[in-house]
Amino acid sequence: MQVTILGAGIIGVSTAWHLMQRGHEVTLVDRQADAALETSFANAAQISVSYCEPWANKDAPLKTLKWMFSDESPLLFRPQLDWAQWRWGLQFLAQCNDAAFERNVAQLVALGSYSHAALKAVVADTGIEYNRLERGIAHYYTDRKSFDGAAEAAAVMQRFGVKRRVVSLSELLKIEPALGAFAEHIVGGTYTQSDESGDARSFTQQLATLCGQRGARLMFGHDIQRLDSDGREIREVQVRDRQSGQVRVLKSDAFVVACGSYTTPLLKTIGVDVPIYPGKGYSATLPLLKPERAPEVSMIDDQLKIAVSRLGNQLRVAGTIELGGFDLSLETPLARKRCDMLVRRIEQVFPGVADTRTPEQGGDPQYWCGLRPATPTNIPLIGRLPLRNLWINAGHGTLGWTHGAGSGKALAELIHGEQPAMDFGFRGMPPTRRSTPVSSRLRVAQPPGQA
């Protein structure tokens, strides 16, 4: 079978790899010059099965309302004159109850475990190296009330087979001595030894290269111009070479949409509606000044809801969710505040370990932002769309790296006619079909130069 995959982030490339493993011919299309230059470019680097928790829970509405008044809040809702945003928000609110949380977390953890096993298998088969650290993930708390709830959160994960456990401050410092300089502010933590961290961009680009070496057609630097549908199936896809301007027509037996947040506007052009909305996240990558004092265990800061991972001689700090459309600016006052917050926290927790100077001070922090494609449940959409030969693999939110390998394997199995080890059917809010397309041509926001 010939399969064209639209989007070459961790999701699209993993799908390509697993389809090729099953003998299919693959064409991989992306508007960027290489794989993983958008949402997979500089994420938090965590494979965090133990933190596969949906954003929606019973406490989320009140917290979201409170956080609207702080530019440095973990989740910032920026109201727009956009029906898609408000509809997504209403669907999100419908998930903010205990029954939905339990149902959603069960699915997310199951996919996380399945995906972690798939990632390990790919690494064993390929030998890809990507600054991988199999040292677990530690979650530290600076607030006693929040830490008192850590046992309940750990118990939820334990019910689904994840060995996340509560640890005292002294045990936490044994697990990661680099927290010693900040110890007076920490009241305790949780720890999951089975989790890990690594560079998603490096992994994805190497896997894409291997796909090319094994015969995949890699069409980087191509914009998607048009999906041509007869109402029952996709007949062809038109793409345009960014360098030459040449328009090419792609015909395949099957098409996969794995365009992250841009999946929604793309599918609207053929009358298919999916509940995916972008959540803007930020990261900063900092050179280490004192590698011997830098952490090796990946961590989550409970107060700021940010993640910290070591990538060789650099430290990656990432976090925050900003629901405000397709804005990818890094130079606005709001964006700068959120980036500076990440770097400032690193200096507080690991003083002197990384170069946290601003550009104005002579430092060189690598700031980045990307759009996390989120469904209201946080459960990704993996499966066939209402058109016979059209498939989707999108909506992974903040868990694209955690769920990437398994999502690609699961969809490849479905396309191949196999039944994955778990149920990947659409749940809660499946795609819907409009009577007529919204537009015949895709027009969406363009990404920044590097990502």
Here the tokens at position 336 are 């700068």
SS (H, E, C) 379-446: CCEEEECCCCCEEEEECEHHHHHHHHHHHHHHHHHHHHCCCCCCCCCCCCCCCEECCCCCCCCCCCCC
Q: What domains can be seen in the chain, in order of their start residue?
A: 52-81+131-195+277-374 (3.30.9.10)
What pLDDT score was predicted for residue 360? 84
In this structure, are residues 141 and 150 in contact, taking their beta carbons and an 8 Å threshold? yes
In DSSP notation, 250-286 reads E--SEEEE--GGGHHHHHHTTTEE---EEEEEEEEEE
**H or E element in which residue 109 lies:** helix 98-126
Q: Which residues pair with 382 in a beta bridge?
A: 393
Q: Which residues pair with 286 in a beta bridge?
A: 315
Q: Among the residues of 160-275, which ranges form H helices?
A: 169-175, 200-213, 263-268
What pLDDT score was predicted for residue 437? 44
What pLDDT score was predicted for residue 449? 35
What pLDDT score was predicted for residue 432? 77
For the chain, what is the total number of helices (H) and then of strands (E)? Answer: 11, 22
Cα separation, 192 vs 111, in Å, equals 17
Here the tokens at position 30 are 């992306």
In this structure, are residues 154 and 302 in contact, taking their beta carbons and an 8 Å threshold? no
Considering only CA atoms, which of 256, 373, 266 is closest in space to residue 20?
A: 256
- Nearest-10 crossing angle of helices 10-21, 200-213: 30
**pLDDT single digits (tens) 124-153:** 999 999 999 999 999 999 999 999 999 999
What pLDDT score was predicted for residue 284? 97
What pLDDT score was predicted for residue 429? 63
Residue type (1 letter), 254:
A
Cα separation, 296 vs 175, in Å, equals 10
What pLDDT score was predicted for residue 427? 55
What pLDDT score was predicted for residue 421? 80
Here the tokens at position 143 are 């607030």
Q: In sequence order, what are the residues at sequence separation of 6 or more whose Cβ sits closer than 8 angstroms to the Cβ of residue 76? A: 67, 68, 70, 320, 321, 322, 323, 324
- Nearest-10 crossing angle of helices 10-21, 400-416: 30
What pLDDT score was predicted for residue 446? 35
What pLDDT score was predicted for residue 439? 30
What pLDDT score was predicted for residue 420? 85
Which residue numbers in the chain have pLDDT < 70?
423-430, 434-451
- Indicate the pairing of strand 222-229 with strand 234-241: antiparallel
Cα separation, 197 vs 186, in Å, equals 23
